[in-house]
Amino acid sequence: MSRAQTRSPLLDLAFGYMPAQMLHAAAELRLADAFAGGPRTSAELAGETGAHAPSLLRLLRGLTGLGVVEQKERDLFALTSEGQRLRSDAPDSIRSLIMLFCGPAVWRTWGDMTQTLRTGEYAWERATGMTPFEFFESDANAELSKTFNAAMSEHTRAVAPGIIEAHDFGRYGTVADLGGGDGTLIAAIVRAHPGLRGMLFDRPAGLAAAPGTLAEVAERVEIVEGDFFEKVPGGADAYVLKSVIHDWEDGKATAILRNCRAAMRPDARLLLLEQVMPEIVTPETQGIVRNDLNMLVCTGGRERTEAEFRELLDAAGFAGVSLTGPVQPFGYHVIEVRPGG
């Protein structure tokens, strides 16, 4: 077959924005929620979602090709098992993740990647007029802040079981989760270890949903408001930073780590829960490479190799670096360190 007759796989990649926006539209309409009770017609679903029925029929056909719905008759559709994950009330929901990462702010930011590649300056502030954390703490973006927090919670809920299995949290008396948002991770840790106490530390916007998340373990988890760029609370045996260091360039990442070091007793431990960039990437490691590019355009941060983590931690006054992982399903590592001498 000649080159002219071969369909290039690059075309499927180039048009990858189409399924992403189809999923975003379905998530924004809460289409999966409208399937409660069984198969539905486009008119029934339009009535539930406020959509235009003939247009919605066309989206449903597209979602059939993505495995989100199954077409039973000409105009009768059922939600698939994978489509159930778009339900807002599903235990393994990814609706908020799709709303965040396929939503307008991230969409515009990725659209400005070329300028980031020319300048090295991340695109989020150019696209929105604010840094990411200013953006999600703005009163004007309160609903998007809820989506951001819910998306982080969805991802953490999927990661937590593997992390808890990979590391012996039971050896500590108190674990502090720094930048822990609504408390999904620390709640899972203390539930797994009945003798353990927890501390949840974050800025007020991040902690907004924490009381609800921590309701079952409220007596064992202290909620502390603060900013890890200013000070980290003392008194814990282990300090956890999950997906925090990758948000920041080296200077700010080192500042966070030094504040952790200042708060820690000599026998305390710092646990970074991060993905680790391989020195040589392959098609199988493209997930972390895309995460790295997302950090490039959205926050100015980065995913780091083991050597880069070791250098960063050494500069911040830590020693005894050990790595556990990768932990499935997302390839996180537990990077354990102690205060240096």
Range 135-139 contact pairs with CB under 8 angstroms and sequence separation of 24 or more: 135/105, 136/205, 137/203, 137/205
In whole angstroms, give the CA distance from residue 304 to residue 285.
13
Q: Give the Cα separation of 110 and 122 in Å (integer).
A: 10
Name the residue among 165, 198, 171, 170 with its Cα closest to residue 184. 198
* Residue boundaries of the structural domains of the chain: 3-90, 155-339
CATH of domain 155-339: 3.40.50.150
**What is d(CA 253, CA 272) in angstroms, rounded to the nearest whole number?**
12
**214: exposed, middle or buried (C-beta count within 10 Å: 0-12, 13-18, 19+)?**
buried
For residue 49, CA distances in Å to 44, 53, 74, 103, 279 come to 9, 10, 20, 18, 47
Q: What is the pLDDT of residue 1?
A: 43
Give the pLDDT of residue 247.
97
What is the spatial distance between Cα 278 and Cα 285, in angstroms, rounded to a whole number? 8
Annotate 133-198 with DSSP letters as a single string.
HHHHHSGGGHHHHHHHHHHHHHHHHHHHHHHHHHS-GGG-SEEEEET-TTSHHHHHHHHH-TT-EE
Question: What separation in angstroms does the CA of 108 have from each of 23, 147, 210, 251?
Answer: 17, 17, 30, 26
Q: Determine the Cα–Cα distance for residues 227 and 133; give it in Å rounded to an integer.
A: 12
Whether 19 and 66 have beta carbons less than 8 Å apart is answered as: yes
Beta carbons within 10 angstroms of residue 74's beta carbon:
8
In CATH terms, is domain 3-90 a member of 2.60.120.10? no
Residue whose structure tokens are 């609903």 = 143
Extract the tokens encoding 328: 């499935």
Residue 3 pLDDT: 53
Terminal-to-terminal C-alpha distance of the chain: 66
Q: Are 132 and 299 in contact (CB under 8 A)?
A: yes
pTM of full prediction above 0.85: yes
Residue type (1 letter), 110? W
Task: Give 83-121 as a DSSP string.
Answer: GGGGSTT-TT--HHHHHHHTSHHHHHHHHTHHHHHHH--
Per-residue pLDDT of the chain (341 residues; tens, 9 = 90+): 455 567 788 998 999 999 999 999 999 999 999 999 899 999 999 999 999 999 999 999 999 999 999 999 999 999 999 999 999 999 999 999 999 999 999 999 999 999 999 999 999 999 999 999 899 999 899 999 999 999 999 999 999 999 999 999 999 999 999 999 999 999 999 999 999 999 999 999 999 999 999 999 999 999 999 999 999 999 999 999 999 999 999 999 999 999 999 999 999 999 999 999 999 999 999 999 999 999 999 999 999 999 999 999 999 999 999 999 999 999 999 999 999 97
DSSP tag of 8 = P
Residue 330 CB partners (closer than 8 Å, separation 6+) = 155, 158, 159, 275, 287
Catalytic residues: 246
β-pairing, 238-242 vs 269-275, is parallel
